[in-house]
Amino acid sequence: MALKIWLDDKLVGDQDATVSVFDHGLLYGDGIFEGIRVYAGKIFEEKAHVDRLYESAKAIRLQIPMTKDEMVDAMRKTVEANGIKEGYIRQIVTRGVGSLGLNPFNCEKPCVILIASTIQPYPEEVYENGMKVISATTIRNHPLALPPQIKSLNYLNNIFAKMEAIDANVPEAIMYNHMGYVVEATVDNIFIVKDGIIYTPPVNAGSLCGITRAVVTKLAKQNSLEVVETDLTRFDLYICDEFFLTGTAAEVISIVEIDGRFVGDGKPGPVTERLRKLFFEYARS
């Protein structure tokens, strides 16, 4: 099915949604993005995602050529034009067309792209039975090299780890920072449960401040579950009672095996299942 893509200031057919070979997003990965779910035609955590996009832009000194309200209006028009009830929005803002060379100030105007389409989450049996993961040898980018809060177009660090997962015949890989602390999976945030307490790595360890992560944390606290942000090691992942990931596409998904070791009894745990249900109800309310 042909899609309608928002390009700069209007909707165009997907065949006409093209960017220049001189766009610095293509040449140098100079740009930002967001991935957002749509549930029952409603954009999930719309404000939080738009705020994060504009914060990423500010951090890289990129001036998005539309206001936040205009961005929200464009997103809604793109969702409506494509008849998306259950799906996904990809927001992209590139530095725009410039000359060869790194200088971003030679670029004329940032390019805004909005794609609204369906999404293929993990099969239901993965949610029911849990997922296997490995520890990646690729470490997460140093937070002083590239702040993890910037959702940039350069994902090679994560792609390297994803290739390790694919080579090991599992869907995901766990990434660690330069000090050996747990950071995140290639596209998802990490939580573990030990003795009834939920733990998650702090953002300053090198992870993205996930929107789904924030929602799950809020839901846990509202339901009398304790959540602690603290540095975690591979040992903590090996001995925890439960282990789950959160993310825009994955929502809440249980990890039942890491590096060939069962997590708990090798089945999705009760805290994870409770949070998965709470999130499902919250997202679709």
151 is catalytic: yes
Q: Report CA-CA distances (Å) from 108 to 63, 68, 70, 223.
A: 11, 21, 20, 50
Cα distances (Å, whole numbers) of residue 102 to 25, 98, 148: 11, 9, 21
Beta bridge partners of 193: 198, 242
The set of residues, in sequence order, having a beta carbon less than 8 Å from that of 154 and lying 6+ positions away, is 29, 146
Query: Tokens in use for 252?
Result: 């809440």
Which residue, among 88, 238, 83, has the nearest Cα to 174 in the 3D structure? 238
Contact 182, 236 (CB under 8 A): yes
Q: Exactly one of 4, 132, 151, 162 is catalytic; which is it?
A: 151
Tokens of 137: 């040898």
Instruction: Single out the residue of 144, 274, 235, 126 nearest to residue 188, CA to CA.
Output: 126
Task: Identify which of 169, 237, 166 has the alpha carbon closest to the alpha carbon of residue 199.
Answer: 237
Name the residues annotated as catalytic: 151
